[in-house]
Each structure stands twice: as C-alpha cells, then as structure tokens.
Amino acid sequence: MAGEYINPWWQAKLLPEKWDVCGVKIGGLSVWHFYALTELRNAYVCGGVCDLDAAANLLLVCGREVFELKALYLNPRVRARVLNSIYKTVKCIPWAELNAACIDYITACTRIPEHLRPMEGKGKSFSAPGPWHIVLCLCERYNLTPDQAWNHPYAEARCMFDVFQEARGDETLASETIQRHTDEALERKAGEKKP
C-alpha cells in the first residue's frame, strides 16, 4: 500500500481519534475546534505567522471538547493556568519540531474534497459561518444532536456536508481525477521546497 494515493474522502475516515503532538495528547480536530480556532484567528488555521502562542492555543483548543473549552474561556484564571502548563511542555521542544507537528496535525485534519469555482450566478454567499451550516446539516440530515455535531471530526463532517450538498444539486465538487491531479501538484510543489 505504500505510495498509493489516498483521496480526502478515504483519509477523513482513516484519521485517528487521538493525536500525540510532541507529547501533548489532543483529540482529532472537530467541527467545534475548527470553528474556535477560526474565531480566535489562530495562524495554523487562518494563515499568518505561526509562533509559540499559536501552537499553544492550538493545543489548548484541540485538547478539549465543547463544554470544557467554554468553561475555560469563561474563566480567564483557569485558562491562564492551563495555558501556562501547555507552555511549560512546549517550551522544551525545539521550535522546528513543534511547528512541523502542528502543521502536520492541521493539514491532515482539514484536508477536505476540492471544490471547483461555481459558475457565474450560481454560488450563494451566506452570513452564518461555515461550521454552523455543517452542524445544521449533521443534525437535520444525519440526526445527530447539536453536541454530537460540534464534536464530530471536521474532515468527515465536511465530507458528509459535501455529499448532502451534492445530492441537493451542488455541482462544485471536483471529480476524483481533478482532486488527484491537484494533490499530486501540491505534493510536487512541497517536494521542491525541501532542501
């Protein structure tokens, strides 16, 4: 199986539930984690300069479920104590190793099927953030409770959302052939950057 292509749909089903990111145990990226990291403007999700703060916040967020993270953000003292504990752990890790582990985690957990640009006049923009649409879909179409939907693995939830949208007439999903060509091009580009 080594060297075989794995499409995003299959990868979403293969992702582990628990991760070890440089000695810090965290869960797989959920819809809630993705939403929280987006709202917190975390550089690993939103782009920008990745630094120790971004890595520590990523590990803080992804190490907790919805109710735990809500409690942390409602109690700044507890949040500061937990963040200090994470800082103590990650400060001992060489930055290049920690950064690479955080990038690998986010890259694996946010890999989703590619979409082609909608044709002129076809796409519709929404006011609500994307994760809310995903949660609505998971609740209405797949009969999950809101808590189950928020805690569902992000990549798998996006695949489920995309299948639902395609069944409703969305024609923007790329074919498996196009997805494969895009992935191979990205892999070649990444290989060219390595020394």
pLDDT at 122: 52
Bigger pLDDT: 9 or 85? 85
* Structure-token match 């290049």, residue found: 96
What is the overall mean pLDDT for the chain? 85
User: pLDDT tens digits for 20-76?
Assistant: 999 899 999 999 999 999 999 999 999 999 999 999 999 999 998 888 888 888 998
Cβ proximity of 162 and 113 under 8 Å: yes
In this predicted model, what pLDDT tens digit does every residue of 90-102 receive, in sequence order? Answer: 899 999 999 999 9
What letter represents residue 69's amino acid? L
Per residue, the 3-state secondary structure of 86-145, as one string, reads: HHHHHCCCCHHHHHHHHHHHHHHHCCCCCECCCCCCCCCCCCCCHHHHHHHHHHHHHCCC
Confidence band, pLDDT 50/70/90 cuts, at residue 12: confident
Task: Point out which residues pair with 93 in neighbouring strands.
Answer: none
pTM of the model: 0.83
Round to whole Å and give the CA distance between 4 and 181.
Answer: 14
State the amino acid at position 128 in one-letter form: A
